[in-house]
Amino acid sequence: MYHKGYVALGIVLFLALLAMPYWVTAGKIKYEEIEKELAPAKGKCVYDEEWMAKYHMELLKDWRELAVRHGVRHYHTENGDFNVSLTECWKCHDYNNFCAKCHNFMDVEPVCWECHYNPSMNYSTVNYIK
Site residues (vs ligand HEC, CB under 6 A): 35, 38, 40-41, 43-46, 49, 52-53, 56-57, 60, 63-64, 67-68, 82, 84-86, 88-89, 91-93, 98-99, 102-103, 106, 108, 110-112, 114-116, 129
How far apart are CB 91 and ligand HEC at their closest, in Å? 5
Long-range contacts of 55-64 (CB under 8 A, 24+ apart): 57/110, 60/86, 60/112
Burial class (CB in 10 A: 0-12, 13-18, 19+), 21: exposed
How far apart are CB 123 and ligand HEC at their closest, in Å? 14
Of 69, 110, 70, 68, the C-alpha closest to 89 is 110
How far apart are CB 79 and ligand HEC at their closest, in Å? 8
**Residue 24 or 106 having the CB closest to ligand HEC:** 106
